[in-house]
Structure 1
Amino acid sequence: MKKIILVTGATSGFGKAIATSFCKAGWNCIITGRREDILVQLAGDLQVTYGVDVIPLVFDVRDRHAVNTAISQLPEEWQAIDVLVNNAGLALGRDSFEVANLDDWDTMIDTNLKGLLYVSKAVLPYLVERKKGHIINIGSTAAKEVYKDGNTYCATKHAVDAISKAMRIDLLQHKIKVTAIHPGAAETEFSIVRFKGDEEKARQVYEGYQALQAQDIADIALYVANLPEHVCINDLVVTCLAQANSMYVQK
């Protein structure tokens, strides 16, 4: 019987790479995202390319009702979720605290923090019932250090770090693994979103060094998900060779 993974934010970046890598490895996949056309196309491509089953669920993780409705209505055969990857997240703006945009703050808190909580709570009954499963939370090196103009983004990722630790403690009794993967600079759509479509400014972030790629994080997620049942990697900080942490990059 094929294993099942659920990946949030699967339309691009880490999420798309993770879904693709697991499908390539023979897993059936539930992919979620807001962009229906891209999500449905991806589901079809993955099924044809890898001969697995893929369900696209179109919702915004910020919408608690939509999250609960979509996940609670999964067909019974799809409820046996083995791995949940909480990937949906974003950074908006990079502004000093006193001039930062409150709407940006709300979006980051609602997506990076509350969205992760909503999806986890919706999926957990299936894992608890089976007394097995694995939650992989995608954090950031911003969870480990606060950097200038990172303020609320760093705060949300610090929260992801704390929630991951809390999950690991509270879900121990249910034999559920929890892993936090904290990537450093990665060349995806992330910076384009952060700079609100300014591709030139986004490109400059990665000039002068080789950043992580989405596939690097997908490979790591697949590795930790395939460890023996008694082994759990709790916390991973991953950077490219040129980066030491959130603040220090050799260009």
Structure 2
Amino acid sequence: MSVFTRRRLLQGAAAAGAAGIGLSTAGKFAGWAAAKPEPLILKTAGIAAQLMAGAPTKNVLTYGEAGPPPVIRMKKGKPFAARLVNGIDDPTTIHWHGIRVPNKMDGVPFMSQPYVYQGDHFDYAFAPPDAGTFWYHPHCNTLEQMGHGLTGVIVVENPNDPAFDAEVALNLRDWRLGDDGQFIAQFRPRDAARSGTYGTVRTANWLDQPQYDAPAGGLVRLRAAITDVTRIYGFRVDGAE
């Protein structure tokens, strides 16, 4: 026959409470672990790219191994993570242009984070509070790094948006290239009193007048990000107001 004493009763209550706390805490941390996404790896690199007719342009900068920087997709209010790995000689960072991020994630060296030197990395993590179209670029030696290609498009998706039949994201920019297809000086002093030094070759997604398919009569979302160093663009859609 079991005899219940005050001491045994308190011991049982303490054990039950400890078990409850352990289960509750484990569940909470498991939820946090599940919510943390794998970081998107963005490694800077210098490549040769076909930006105009003729010889490929040397020392074009991108994130990845080939082609323009990727379109980065996030979801409004959901955790996002990226790891910047620097594979070029210049120190660099990533600034998430237009996105309201915590200050330490803003990518401005000596103000919100240290330089990321060649061979080093930096981890970014935030939850974008707003949906829309944005862009990303470095805040280090920007005239050279952005002028040589380190600009990409960000899409922050809203789960409440209507469904579209097609979506096209355009990275609009120009390049300072000579007739041989190679880079020329990114800045001319005489242009400082004007509106800046324009490029000589315009591209969309690093292509000359690309064409994209969409279903006839379909609802198409066009996302355009001007990632240029200087040029201001005017838009029109032929056959529409």
TM-score by length of 2: 0.28
Q: Which has the larger radius of gyration?
A: 2
TM-score by length of 1: 0.27
Structure with more of its chain in strand, by fraction: 2
